[in-house]
Structure 1
Amino acid sequence: MADQEQDLRKTLRVEPGEKARLKDRDPRDKTIFEDSDETKAATAALAKDIDILQDRLYAEGSRALLVILQGTDTSGKDGTIRGVFNATGPLGVSVHAFGPPSRLELEHDFLWRVHGACPRRGTIGIFNRSHYEDVLVGKVRKLAPEDVIEQRYEQINAFEKMLAENGTTILKFMLHISKDEQKERLQERLDDPTKHWKFNPGDLEDREHWDDYQEAYEIMLNRCSTPWAPWHIIPADRKWVRNAAIATIVKATLEEMDPQYPEVSWKPGDFKVF
């Protein structure tokens, strides 16, 4: 792996046991990628590389990659999916957006709906929001008793370890934006008629709890960054930096997985197409 990729992952990763402080991470940081035009071109090339690696993963059919995107409203989860996975063949990629749980889902444990959405072998699964909503919104909005929320951190760690031990590599990205950037993006949704459908008045209610959410995110990062499923804090105020960072880490991870096309039992020379 290139030294730049190693440095990037080391810079953005939350090491297990580390006490991450979001105030110490600049959401507008562009030191890791300085030139926007060059970076955008490099990201497009990375997306094509990811497509090639995903094809090998699909052909191999024995392992999976789960990409978890978590962030406040307007942090760019949809944009990341478009920017990083736009060149990837749809056959081997699944995207699952987690909204409020249904009545049926509430009748089960909080991970029940998540397990069913995990990627099958040979594919890349992308979670737009995830089971971490249950220790973020659940905590801030007090949707469950505090002792129940407390239990969920280790339950999540155990769940993700089980996935990892059964062939699913897990990448977790916290899209870190500033409160000012969120304000601009929400206002843009109000000003642009083509983006009205994206605006949810409930986003303004969550914005009133900004500090509470930041604290909940820090607890999540500190409690649930593990050797088998580490968190990465991605500076997301600049969309091109966000996409480049995530694309770099996804490609490097797939290269480490090194999926291989399976060998066949027959020889091409034994056949002729008429």
Structure 2
Amino acid sequence: GQAVGRVFEDVVSLVEEGDRRLLAEPLRQTLSSGTAVNLGRRALLVVRNDGGERSIELSASPIRTADGRLTGALVLLHDVSELRGIARQMSYQATHDALTGLVNRHEFERRLQEAVESGQRGDGQHVLCCLDLDRFKVVNDTSGHVAGDGVLREVAKVLRDAVRDSDTVARVGGDEFGMLLVGCPLEKARQIADDVCSSIADHRFVWREKIFSLGVSVGLVEISRGSGTPEELLAAADSACYVAKKRGSGRVAVYS
């Protein structure tokens, strides 16, 4: 009953769900243009008195008399919050690793493709990193796969904490991870990789009464104008990671 007799925009505001941009008031739009307005699947309704939000589909249609005179408008609001929530959840599940919550291989390769295209345009410096855990097999062999899964979740957290918010960390295989450092010169990437190695080496991974000390080997490859396809870059980073692993635990190698 609080909305009765009040102007639409005094009760609620409509914003774009993606960028929070204020949307034109549909009732006023319909009355001024005399045509129907449909906001489709992108609107978020914000209630002014308590700040509550609902995802909606909205349409506004003009009401006319028999002789075509405009007398008002009908606004239909359909609450689709639950549907959009399910869609967001499905999208998240399709792009993230269920065990660690990191980006999965498919999504990582999609982002790598974007970085390659950006590099070819000369939009910035990017670096691809391939990471392989050292001594992880000991965890599975001595304590089982449940312990291994717990350690992988901890590793994921350490990796996320060691990089910048703008970077992508992914689980691309069993104990293999990838990092995509966007807008990052090679020297800075080398520093981040060294920090990751130190963070993993310094962390004590505890499972019940056992303490595990792991390491990580990192291979780096620069993404630039002439750096080739995503597949070639992944192979190069993997090759550099192999070189790093041969040098001993906690090493970083740059592909050249």
Q: Could you say which structure has the larger radius of gyration?
A: 2
Higher relative contact order (CA 8 A, sep 6+): 1
Q: Which protein has the bigger strand share?
A: 2
**TM-score range normalised by the length of the shorter chain:** under 0.3
Q: Which has a greater percent of helix? A: 1
TM-score normalised over the length of structure 1 = 0.20
